[in-house]
Chains A and B, each alone.
Chain A
C-alpha cells in the first residue's frame, strides 16, 4: 500500500512539473523531455518554467538533435549542464520584462542551491562534477548580488562565456555552445547513446534538473516461456485434446497456474464447488482456477504504457468522473411526503379543518437511486497481447473514475490455459487503489461462455445493490478445448459455436438480473467485430474506437443502466 501511495505521489509530482512546463510554454499536449525536481521530490518551479520557456522561445527539435549529439560524448552530462547554464541565462533575460516574478523565483532557487551546497559528505563531493558545481554556485552567488567567487582563470573565462544574451536564436545558441565546448573541452565520442534528452545531474543534492523518467522509455518485452508453450500447445492440437493435461494430475496443473498467475483466491473446496456447478454441458471438460493477481513481468510493460499515455488517460479519468457524478446526480427518484404546500391531498383535508394541521399537501422529495457496484471483466487471451498496455490503462482509468465517485468496483481478468479458465483478481471491492490492475497480462485462449457464468459467482451477493458487469472484450471467443457433441464427437469452441455459447451465458446472466455491457476493443476492429459483439451482447455492446470516446461511452453505458430501472 505504501509503495502504491508513493507511486501515486510520484505520478502527481510528474503531472505537476509538466503543468509548470506547459504553463510557461503556453502550450499543452507535448511531452517535455526534461523535468526538474528538488531534493525532496517537489517540482522545481523556476527550472521547470525555464524548460517551458525554452520550448516557447526556441526550436525544440534542433536543440534535441544537438543534445543527442552531445550525448555521444563521455562528458555528455557536463556539456548538457553547460548548455542549460547558457540557456537559463538567455531565457531569464528574455522573459523577465514580461514576467517580473521570475526575479524572485530565481533568487529563491539560488538561495536553495547554495544552502544545499554546504555540509555535504565526502561521498557527495566525490560524486559531483566540480566544474559544473563551480559554475552554478558562481551563477547563484551573482543572482544573490554577491561576487561569483570563481578564482581559477580557466573557470572564470568559461563562466563569462556562458552569459548568453536574450536575443540569441536557437542556431546562435547551438553555435555558441559548440564554440565554448570546443574551446574549453576535448570531445571524446563513445558508442553509448541515450534515446531521450535529459539534463544530467551532477549529484543528488546539487541537482538542478533531475532525470526522472524517459518518456520514450525502453520497452522491455519480457520473455514469457509459459505463454509461448501454452500457445504452441493449443494451436498445435488438431484433435482438440489437451496434450499433456490428462496425463498430469490436476493438483500439479493448479500448482503450475499458481506459480504463473498467483495464489488461489478461494479455498480448494470453494473452487471445486464452483467447478462442479459451472463446468457442465459445453464446459464439462473444462476446469476453473481463481488467482489473486500480483506484480509480474507484464506490470512493468503496462506501467510504461501508462506513463507514455498518462495525460490522455488521466484526462479520460477526469472526464469520466465528471460524467458519472453528473449521471448519479441527475437520476433521482421522487419520494412523496406531506407538506404545507404542493399538490392538495383531499385525504388529508380533515387534518386541516379539525387539527389545524396545515400539512394537507403532497410534496415530492427526490432521493438518489439505490447504489450499484461495478465488476470489470477483462478478456486476457493471447489475441489481446498487442493491446495489453492499452487495456490495462483503460481499465485503470475506468476503475479510478468509478472509485472517485464512490462506486464500488472490482476487476478480474480471464483466459483459458490448457482447458482451465483462469480468473485473476486485479482489484477487489475493498481496495481503494487500483495499482494491481497493471498486473493484467495476456496469454492463452478465452472461453467466454464459461467465464461469464463464473463471473456471476464473483459478483458481490448484495440484494440491495445492483450489479453492473462490464466486459472488455474483442467479442471473439475461442478455446482449444472442444465442446462435446455426443457419441464421441466434438465441435471446436470457436466462431458460431463459441458465439452461441457466450450469447447463451449472457442471456442467463441477464435473466438473473445482472446488468451486462460489453466494451468492444479489438485489433481487428471493424464490421466483423461489431456484428459479433451485437450477436453476443445485443444492444449493450459498444465499440471503443479511441481513448477520446472512452469516457463518454462508459458514462453513457452506466447512465443507460441506471435509467433502465
Chain B
C-alpha cells in the first residue's frame, strides 16, 4: 500500500508518520489484517484522510453511492496495519448491538461484547458503515468513546479504556433512503471528509488496475457510458441505482468470462433499476454507446 500511495503522490512526511504509527502499534492479535480488494484513487482525499488518522481523529466519510467510502476505510486500516471491524448500521439498531448485550448462559446472565467494544479493546479500525441509518438515541453511547475521554462505560460491567491505536471511521450517504439527519453532538466528534464521485481519469485507472486485459478503447467507452449515467442521475432523470461502480466492475468481470457486453451491462447496471420506465431510460443510454451484439473480444486484448 505504501508504494501505491507513493505513486499517488502522497507526501513523504505523511508516509513516515504512517510508518511511525505502525512501529508504535504493531498488530499481534489473532484477527487478520484484511488485504483490500480495491484501491482508493485520489491523492487529495487520501492525503486528508491519512492526516486525520495520523492525528488521532475519527473520520466521517460522506458521499453518494459508489464514491469509495468503504474502499477508503479498508485501505486506511490496511495501510496502518490494523484489523477492521465493519459494523453495518440499520434502522433497528440499538446501543446493545454496538456495545454488547446480556445473554443467559448456564443459568446466569453474561455479557457478550459487541463489535464496537471488541474493536475499542483491541485497538482496531472500527468502520461504522451508513452511520446515519441508526437512530440518534442508539448512537449516544458512542459519544464518550469518540471524544477526548476515549472511554466506554458499560453499565454493570465497568469501564473500558480505549486502546490508543483505535480509530473510528464512519461512512454515510446523505439523503439515501432510510437515512436521517445526523445528530450535531455526534457529528462534532468526527472530522468530515466529503468524497467526490470518482473522476473519469481515476475510474479509467481503476479499471486498468482491476482488468489489465481491458484495452484503452474499452476503458474509455465504459468510462463515457458511466459519465452519461452520472449526468442523467444528476439531472434527476434516473435514480442513482444504475450509477453503480460496483455494478460496472461486476459487469466487466462477467465480460472477462465471455458474457456479451450488453448482457453483462444489463446484469450489472440496467437491471439494477426495478422500475420499468427508469430501466428503459438506462437501456437507451447504454444503447447509445454499446451495440447490442458487441462481443467482449472487442474490449479485451
B-binding residues in A (CB < 8 A): 12, 15-16, 19-20, 22-24, 26, 28-29, 43, 45, 49, 99-101, 104-105, 315, 318-319, 322, 325-326, 329-330, 332, 340-344, 352-353, 358, 360-361, 364-366
Contacts and interface: CB of A to CB of B under 8 A. Distances in A.
Contact of B291 (A101, A322, A353, A358): A101
Interface in B19-61: none
A24 B92 CA distance: 44
A329 B236 CA distance: 22
B102 A45 contact: no
B118 to A, nearest CB: 16
Contacts of B178: 326, 329-330
Interface string B278-299: 0011001101111111000000
A330 B101 contact: no
B228 interface: yes
Contacts of A105: 287-288, 291
B235 interface: yes
B230 to A, nearest CB: 12
B155 to A, nearest CB: 11
A533 B271 CA distance: 47
B104 A352 contact: yes
B179 to A, nearest CB: 7
Interface in B74-123: 91-92, 94, 96, 101-104, 107, 109, 112
B284 A330 contact: no
Contacts of B91: 329-330, 332, 366
Interface of B: 91-92, 94, 96, 101-104, 107, 109, 112, 177-180, 228, 231-232, 235-237, 239, 277, 280-281, 284-285, 287-293
Contact of A340 (B104, B236, B237): B104
Nearest to A16: B280
B291 A16 contact: no
Given A12-B277, A28-B237, A366-B91, A361 B288 contact: no
Given A322-B177, A330-B91, A358-B104, A45 B112 contact: no
27 contacts: A15-B281, A19-B232, A22-B232, A23-B231, A23-B284, A28-B237, A29-B235, A101-B288, A101-B290, A101-B291, A104-B291, A105-B288, A318-B239, A326-B178, A329-B91, A332-B91, A340-B103, A341-B102, A342-B96, A343-B96, A344-B102, A360-B104, A360-B109, A361-B102, A364-B92, A364-B94, A366-B91
Contacts of B179: 326, 330
A366 B92 contact: yes
A341 B239 CA distance: 39
A5 to B, nearest CB: 13
Contacts of A358: 103-104
Contact of A16 (B177, B228, B284): B284
A104 B109 CA distance: 70
A101 B288 CA distance: 7
B107 A101 contact: no
A20 B288 contact: yes
B284 A365 contact: no
A316 to B, nearest CB: 9
Contacts of A366: 91-92
B292 to A, nearest CB: 8
Contacts of A315: 236
Nearest to A24: B288
B104 A45 contact: no
A325 B177 contact: yes
Nearest to A358: B104
A23 B92 contact: no
Contact of B288 (A16, A28, A49, A360): A49
Nearest to A19: B281
A45 B288 contact: yes
Contacts of A332: 91-92
A22 B236 contact: no
B284 A45 contact: yes
Contact of A365 (B92, B101, B104): B92
A427 to B, nearest CB: 21
B110 to A, nearest CB: 10
